[in-house]
Amino acid sequence: MTILSGRKIRKVYGKKSTAQEVLKGIDMEVQEGEFVGIMGPSGSGKTTLLNVLASIDKATEGVIEISGHNLRTMKERELSNFRREQLGFIFQDYNLIDTLTVKENILLPLSISNISKKEAEARFKDLTKTLGIDDLANKYPNEISGGQKQRTSAARALISNPTVVFADEPTGALDSKAATALLSNLEKINLDKKVTIMMVTHDAVAASFCSRVLFLKDGQLYTELYKGEKDRMRFYQEIMSTQSVLSGDGYDA
């Protein structure tokens, strides 16, 4: 089932003589339960695409639908509610609140929901166990490592059972061990819980955890790779080969 679709997505910054067209009529679909990576040379529009799909930014033209809801026709309050209830976000810089504990940070999205305390507690225990941070509940962000912070951020994004989770360079600030741990956790959650994830990354290793990778070039969809039955190493090699084709355009590897 198609969970997210975009048709003729354009994004233009500036006006008239200073206008810069970053996205040039992108068409795409994401199926429920996919783990989709977005890659491309520096300036190709990958983060801009993620932002307009996630409603963080507004497309200049085009149609974006998530679960049949047209984001571009929603009023601001309606869009805000939809974003809170249906979407999850994982950012490179964690975006945790330093004065709240790990548990309080994770449960924050549920603070204005109608979910019972019992259900919230059950979700918290399940997610923190899966992500390997169940022993950190009472610690504060300044008392845990970068990898633990990002897994806390992932738990916060997932606690409301979102339709789609958007991740923008989630391993960008992590060392290789912490990055692999996070990606393995996200892959497991994607497979076990059928959570749909879209992730921008410049790292072929990170992208190899995805089930499909979209490559952008000059604001357009250049090509895409499907993992299928391939193991992660073979998929990684295919991703690297595609990167090498684009390397002459300043790939930000």
Q: What residue ranges do the domains of the chain occupy?
A: 75-231+241-247
What phi and psi values does residue 6 have, to the nearest 5 degrees? -130, 135
Calculate the CA 30 to chain-centre distance: 13
How far apart are alpha carbons 105 and 97 in whole angstroms?
7
Q: What's the pTM? A: 0.92
Burial (CB < 10 A; 0-12, 13-18, 19+), residue 107, is buried
Confidence of residue 248 (pLDDT cuts 50, 70, 90): low
CA dihedral 131, 136, 142, 147 (to 10 degrees): -20
Distance CA 173, CA 247 (A): 23
> Per CATH, which fold does 75-231+241-247 belong to?
Rossmann fold (3.40.50)
Name which of 84-88, 151-155, 249-253 the model is least confident about: 249-253
Mean of pLDDT over the chain: 93
Q: What are phi and psi of 174, to 5 degrees?
A: -110, 150
pLDDT for 114? 85
* CA distances from residue 90 to 54, 72, 151, 157 in whole angstroms, order as listed: 11, 22, 9, 6
Residue 18 has a pLDDT of 87
In 3-state terms, what secondary structure has residue 71?
A: helix
pLDDT at position 253 over 80: no
Q: Check: CB of residue 52 under 8 Å from CB of residue 45.
A: no
Query: What mean pLDDT do residues 237-248 have?
Result: 88
